[in-house]
Amino acid sequence: MIRLTLPRRTALNDPLRAVALLVLTVLTVAPLGVVKAADGIAPRTPATFPGAACLTVHDRSVEPIFTFGYKIPYEDTRLTADEVAESRTHQFLALCRGHHPQAPLPLWISEADVLDAASKGHVVPGDVEPDDILELAEQWQGCFVRITPDKPRRPITFEAAIEPVLWDTSGLPAGPYFIFGYTWHPYYNMWSPWRGVVKLIDGDPDAAPPALAITNFDENIYPDQSATIVGCVDAVDGATITASWSFTDAIEWKPFAVDVPVDGDQFAVDFAPPPETVGVSVMIRVDVTDPMDRTSTAYMADLVTVIEVNTGSTSDTSDTSDTADSDTCGGSFLDVPECPDGSSGDATHGDTSDGATGTSTDEGTSSAGSATADGDSDGDGDGCGCAASRRAPGGLALFGALLLLARRRRPNR
């Protein structure tokens, strides 16, 4: 029997990425008959945290229980015959640090979960490495806590989502924590991040290590533009932040803003792309260090893409309107302002993220948008080409299909 397995380092930390992987899997392997699970292409249902503050400081000396809510886009309870008994359920966990896009979270929480999935033929236990199991992964030892238990997990129903999540923070080290929702729906289990950080304190916020979070989503910029990396921070006077970038394939963090003084509860630093980043996507991290040499790190959840633009010669009289490939104005899926009207694709470029940058002294809301670079400029009639390494396969048609799948609603069950 042919069994479908995923690469060891694959994790589904974003609902759209999850749907994209599922659809691409079906497109590439379904004709060969290797998709075993009947629900293999069913969108995994995230737990979302709308209105969560970028920074929440919780004083557990006043109240040890941290209470928060979540939402679901639709109810998801109808199991297929090949699913485990408690499939399509939610769990909540907290990690003591963030992670960058090239270090996805483990797909599994426990060995018991792997055995449960194995009972339905979703996985062979020996094929799952320790780094793919949160409770066994060396890099996460002592750095995660279950907010809600593995069993029973919460059903994905509106009734369950109305009930607040109660996190007993007693006995945990003070400092920053990153909350995640976890969708148990093997094989493709999925993580949903709280886009912010919770800092636990015992009366005095300065006695705890600093905390910060980045609120940018993905950023698309041109070589002559900058991406403003924004977020929230809580640290003692005299603390500084250092921001760095790295390629995604050869990870080496290179600072672009060093020892910037922390001023208030928000930060903003500009990333001006070095020449070697043109045409590729890079990762961003920000470290905050206080005078006691305590450091906390946050990573941008998505990437900064530096779009390559090649200006064509005005003396070139060749007609490329019908023969342009995907790296020319005529074939680009990006809206390039330097191109003549009508020569670029229908999609617009740029970031439309709305990540919160506010702070709260307890669980609360905020809604300051993240800064983005605006690439609008007057076209001069010259031809141009645009290229970036992170391009959607199949163009906008496939991307649109994935987006529709990610957003489609199911009837109540």
Q: Could you report the average pLDDT of every consecutive run of 10 residues in the chain (413 residues)?
A: 36 46 40 44 91 95 97 95 94 95 95 95 91 96 96 97 97 96 95 96 94 94 96 97 96 97 96 96 97 96 91 44 38 40 36 44 40 37 44 40 40 37
- Cβ-proximal residues to 35 (8 Å cutoff; 6+ apart), any chain: 4, 25, 26, 29, 41
Report the relative pairing of strands 266-271 and 254-261 from DSSP bridges.
Answer: unpaired
Task: Identify the bridge partners of residue 166 per DSSP, sorted by sequence position.
Answer: 67
Residue 385 near residue 329, CB atoms below 8 Å: yes
Amino acid letter, residue 284: I
Give the pLDDT of residue 344. Answer: 36
Q: Which of 260, 271, 258, 269 is nearest to 235 (CA)?
A: 260
Could you tell me the end-to-end alpha-carbon distance of the chain, in angstroms, rounded to an integer? Answer: 33
Residue 186 near residue 87, CB atoms below 8 Å: yes
Give the pLDDT of residue 42. Answer: 83
User: Which structure tokens are listed for 278?
Assistant: 């043109």
Counting Cβ atoms within 10 Å, is residue 159 exposed (0-12), middle (13-18) or buried (19+)? exposed
CATH 3.40.47.10 fits 209-313+349-382, yes or no: no
Using CA atoms, how far apart are residues 358 and 57, in angstroms rounded to an integer? 12
User: Which structure tokens are listed for 147?
Assistant: 């907010």
The ranges of the chain annotated as CATH 2.60.40.10 are: 209-313+349-382
- Cβ-proximal residues to 407 (8 Å cutoff; 6+ apart), any chain: none
